[in-house]
Structure 1
Amino acid sequence: MAARAAAPEVAVHAAARLGEGPTWDAARSRLVWVDILSSRVHTWAPGSGVRSVLDVGQHVGAAKPRAGGGLVVNLRDGVGCYDEDGAFSWLSREPVPGRRANDAAVAPDGALWAGTMRYDEATGGGTLSRHTGDGGVQVLLPRVTVSNGLGWSPDGTLLYYVDTPTRRIDVYRPEADASGVRLGERRTLVEIEEGAGYPDGLAVDAVGCVWVALWDGAAVRRYTPRGELDGAWTIPAARPTACAFGGTDLRDLYVTTARGGDHPAVRPLAGSLLVLPGVGEGLAGVPFAG
């Protein structure tokens, strides 16, 4: 399928080393995203243009809104919470030498599903864990490599998940029981072909289609719930990292990018926050219940 003609626009000019994890904060009409390797959480309100930057002191894989205000953050040494007034507390602290946080997402029940990876990307060195607001932690996948995109189907029954080096978007059907959550059997929705880049962060839209950013592929793709390619958009950065719907009507797709891999003279927008206006219809996000 040919790339769609709609061109991305610049939402925020930046030079993020590793921009990641865009999330629409509906309660504050703003976008939240991180620059992992600069240890910073960014916010930007499209309506007012107001921006903020929070230095969290260590590499940060994701930041998500909390139901009571503030943010939950997936940090190198564990998961922590910022209150509305900026006060910080650890929710679950487990530093592992050579390992850092990566992408995370809030499930329909308000729990945070948070991934990790080794800095050297050693096979099986990462995890995917579920964190609840009372500090409970359950490791769901103990041996992944680069835990990345997460998203749920509109009815909340399916989990889409990316372990980047596999080149796959996998599908699970999580089920809760007395011991916690079980993922169930895995099936493959999509396997990205050689030469097209690697699947990174993803978003699920209101009709159940999966949008995925392709690291080293300079593109965002849309797949139907059956795994059929339904659109592709060229991104002016070799390494788009993740995407999320935002704006008051959830129709704009925001895309984070990384500066690494691009020379500023060749792709000057690499590292910026980009937007594809009006390309779809997103799902309302759930804040972290903690």
Structure 2
Amino acid sequence: MTTTVHTAYEVAVAAEATLGEGPTWDAATGRLLWIDILGSRVHTYDPATGRRTTRTTDQHVGAVKPRANGGLVLNLRDGVAVLDPDDTFRWLHREPVPGRRANDAAVAPDGSLWAGTMRYDEAAGGGTLSRVGADGAVTTLLPDVTVSNGTGWSPDGSLVYYVDTPTRRVDVFDYDGGLPRNRRPLVTIEEGAGFPDGLTVDADGCVWVALWDGGAVRRYTPTGELDRVVTLPTPRTTACAFGGAGLTDLYVTTARVGLAAPQATAGALLVVPGVGQGVVQPVFAG
């Protein structure tokens, strides 16, 4: 199979995020949500108008997603909370663990939030992946991950893809609405190419994964073949999502943390126009 390489990109937001993460297209509002985990900030960006907003949270924020009835759901250091449309804050599930913080999260086809955690020191087995329902009920899906990261579903909802970053793998599970099962590797990222971080799944069922310390986003087919690479100018690419009016623009978050001499684009929100075709993502039911 021929691998296509894309090098064109634009700077959507010239931010200097410490640890930019979690781009999510909010179809109801026509804006992109994204976060700076260590900066404790939630950002929005409207590509049609250029309007941006920034909101500071009281603690490190691992992910933000839109809700069915308006407002946001937040994966925070001490648990999962919601912001109502009037900005009222309330915890759905609060479970502070010393030395642990929230990381990436995704909304499942049933409207639940699959929320990841990790230890600040990245100790092996110190993180989790949990399902949080609209009523706040929690089911631990994976109890002993290290750096819980990208999660996404195939267009028909029958497969779920998942990254525990230090494994260097994108794994795939069978999924029928219950617990994920039959875990197996889809692909292993080779040494020297970076580590898998956030991911998204496109309309063809292909998996796009951002590579931390790889300065790239790769697209893998459902059989694990590499067929597209987007190369970017800064090494710490963290996550990706399709957005824009036709869901054809790939937004990529980046980070400055740990770079001795950050490039001008480190921490920016980047966009690669017209590179693929996304699908509308589910929103949190709570």
The aligned counterpart of 1:226 is 223
Question: Do structure 1's residue 215 and structure 2's residue 212 form an aligned pair?
Answer: yes
Between the aligned partners of 1:199 and 1:17, the Cα distance in structure 2 is 19
Task: Tell me how far 1:263 sits from its aligned partner.
Answer: 4.8
Task: Tell me how far 1:49 sits from its aligned partner.
Answer: 1.2
Between the aligned partners of 1:287 and 1:233, the Cα distance in structure 2 is 27
The 5 A counterparts of 1:178-217 are 181-217=178-214
The aligned counterpart of 1:280 is 276
The aligned counterpart of 2:167 is 166
- Say which SS state the counterpart of residue 49 (structure 1) adopts: coil
The aligned counterpart of 2:259 is 262
- Say which SS state the counterpart of residue 38 (structure 2) adopts: helix
| Count of residues in Structure 1 that have an aligned counterpart in Structure 2 | 285
- Stretches of structure 1 that go unaligned for 5 or more consecutive residues are none
Task: Tell me how far 1:5 sits from its aligned partner.
Answer: 3.6
Report if aligned partners of 1:239, 1:261 keep a CA contact under 8 Å in 2.
no
The 5 A counterparts of 1:102-181 are 102-176=103-177, 181=178
Task: Tell me how far 1:54 sits from its aligned partner.
Answer: 1.0
The aligned counterpart of 2:8 is 7
Task: Tell me how far 1:267 sits from its aligned partner.
Answer: 1.5
RMSD: 1.2
User: Identity of counterpart residues, as a percentage?
Assistant: 67
Question: Do structure 1's residue 66 and structure 2's residue 67 form an aligned pair?
Answer: yes
The aligned counterpart of 1:23 is 24
Report if aligned partners of 2:168, 2:188 keep a CA contact under 8 Å in 1.
yes
Report if aligned partners of 1:74, 1:104 keep a CA contact under 8 Å in 2.
yes
Amino acid at match of 1:215: W
Report if aligned partners of 1:175, 1:184 keep a CA contact under 8 Å in 2.
no
Report if aligned partners of 2:151, 2:162 keep a CA contact under 8 Å in 1.
yes
The aligned counterpart of 2:250 is 253
Q: TM-score, normalised by structure 1?
A: 0.96
Q: TM-score, normalised by structure 2?
A: 0.97
The aligned counterpart of 2:56 is 55
Between the aligned partners of 1:77 and 1:220, the Cα distance in structure 2 is 30
Report if aligned partners of 2:7, 2:232 keep a CA contact under 8 Å in 1.
no
Report if aligned partners of 2:6, 2:229 keep a CA contact under 8 Å in 1.
no
**Dislocated runs of 4+, deviation >4 Å:** none
Distance 1:147 1:113, change over 3 A: same
Task: Tell me how far 1:233 sits from its aligned partner.
Answer: 1.2
Between the aligned partners of 1:86 and 1:51, the Cα distance in structure 2 is 17
Between the aligned partners of 1:203 and 1:79, the Cα distance in structure 2 is 22
Amino acid at match of 1:102: N
Question: Do structure 1's residue 271 and structure 2's residue 245 form an aligned pair?
Answer: no
Report if aligned partners of 1:3, 1:234 keep a CA contact under 8 Å in 2.
no
Distance 1:2 1:270, change over 3 A: farther
Task: Tell me how far 1:37 sits from its aligned partner.
Answer: 0.2
13-22 vs 181-190, which deviates more? 181-190
Amino acid at match of 2:280: A
Between the aligned partners of 1:100 and 1:277, the Cα distance in structure 2 is 33
Between the aligned partners of 2:25 and 2:58, the Cα distance in structure 1 is 23
